[in-house]
Amino acid sequence: MKNSPILIIGKNGKTGARVNQRLQTLGYATRPVSRSTSPSFNWDNPATWQSAIKGARSAYVTYQPDLAVPHAEAAIKEFVRVAGENGLKHIVLLSGRGEEGAQRAEQVLQNSGISWNIVRCSWFSQNFSESFMLEGILAGELVLPAADTVEPFVDADDIADVAVAALTEPGRRNRLYELTGPRALNFAQCIKEISEALGRPVKYTTVTVDEYINALREQGQPENLQWLLRELFTVVFDGRNSNVISGVEEALGRRPTDFKTYVQKTIESGVWADQMQKTSA
Ligand SMILES: NC(=O)c1ccc[n+]([C@@H]2O[C@H](COP(=O)([O-])OP(=O)(O)OC[C@H]3O[C@@H](n4cnc5c(N)ncnc54)[C@H](OP(=O)(O)O)[C@@H]3O)[C@@H](O)[C@H]2O)c1
């Protein structure tokens, strides 16, 4: 059974890459896929799904761009149908807290007849280093339409540990894990911690949502990204997700990773090094 691969959708993603690496270390065969792999897997092209799924026994599923987008529920509905027809027995779905679209997608999986786990997460700490906030940190100023709302940022390494436990331990099937980090911080506090640990100034500036979206439009960012960020900063980021919960502890029997630890290991990885440090390295 260890030889029949575990499908990982989102090969190079923030969590997919970590889940893949952990499973391989444990000796599991994996099939990590995305648009750039062979076989390829593209959420926007269902014709690619069957060949990616065939022969796999279980799957770690990350939906791009985000389960909050309006067509995500329909895509997950079709995905679980194709998965069931092609013999997939267990799906672990990465989901987001407080997102109505994401919760509808979760229900589709829960009602599919396939064994499931849902890993429902707060914002990832890695958004500061592997996603849309990286550029601002490198430029010395992060500009966002979020003032005082606090968020218990969760570490993608904790998410991957929970996902791997769900994928490899059958006794955990049909359970939802809701994960947050141990401390709720607003963006200004996060940037202060990052700036102090880096030893160089990084500024945090707030703007209105309209100003932020207009700037994205002027930079030529795709409309679906503009829609998603408006949705995240107006609807999802209204304080509904500010409470810390003990999901990591319940799933893994240990404390979740603190934001300080995340900052330290990210500095060690070199992704926040400024241009001069990178040239002299
Ligand atoms: N970020 C957060 O704070 C947060 C919080 C809670 C929940 N989530 C959920 O996390 C999920 C994303 O997971 P993640 O952050 O681990 O992944 P990710 O980092 O967003 O994944 C990026 C990878 O996805 C692939 N990709 C992009 N578009 C694709 C498409 N149309 N079809 C197939 N692959 C595609 C890309 O590889 P290729 O270029 O090779 O295709 C890219 O390397 C979302 O569903 C979101 O709802 C995120």
Over its length of 281 residues, how does the chain's per-residue pLDDT go in tens digits? 557 999 999 999 999 999 999 999 999 999 999 999 999 999 999 999 999 999 999 999 999 999 999 999 999 999 999 999 999 999 999 999 999 999 999 999 999 999 999 999 999 999 999 998 999 999 999 999 988 999 999 999 999 999 999 999 999 999 999 999 999 999 999 999 999 999 999 999 999 999 999 999 999 999 988 999 999 998 888 899 999 999 999 999 999 999 999 999 999 999 999 866 666 65
Residue 275: its pLDDT value, please?
Answer: 63
Query: Alpha carbon 213 to chain centroid distance?
Result: 22
* Residue whose CA lies nearest to ligand 1 atom number 23: 13
Q: Which atom of ligand 1 is nearest to the CA of 131?
A: 19
Q: What pLDDT is stored for residue 280 in this prediction? A: 62
Asked if 52 and 39 touch (Cβ cutoff 8 Å), the reply is yes
Domain residues of the chain, as ranges?
6-185+239-275
Q: What is the pLDDT of residue 238?
A: 87
What pTM, to 2 d.p., does this model score?
Answer: 0.97
Give the pLDDT confidence score for residue 274 in this predicted structure: 80
pLDDT of residue 281: 59
Whole-number Å distance, alpha carbon 109 to ligand 1 midpoint, is 18
Topology of the domain covering 6-185+239-275:
Rossmann fold (3.40.50)
pLDDT on residue 213: 96
End-to-end CA distance of the chain: give it in Å, rounded.
Answer: 45
Measure 76 CA to ligand 1 centroid, in angstroms: 14
Q: How many CB atoms lie within 10 A of CB 104?
A: 15
Query: What backbone torsions phi and psi does residue 65 show, to the nearest 5 degrees?
Result: -80, -30
Residue nearest to atom 13 of ligand 1 (CA): 62
Strands of the chain (E only): list them: 6-9, 30-33, 58-61, 90-96, 115-121, 141-144, 175-179, 203-206
Residues having CB closer than 6 A to ligand 1 are 10, 12-16, 34-36, 41-44, 62-64, 66-67, 94, 96, 102, 121, 123-124, 127
Instruction: Give me ligand 1 centre to Cα 201, in Å.
Output: 30
Tell how far the Cα of 279 is from the centroid of ligand 1, in angstroms. 30
156 CA closest ligand 1 atom index: 16
Q: Note the pLDDT of residue 237.
A: 86
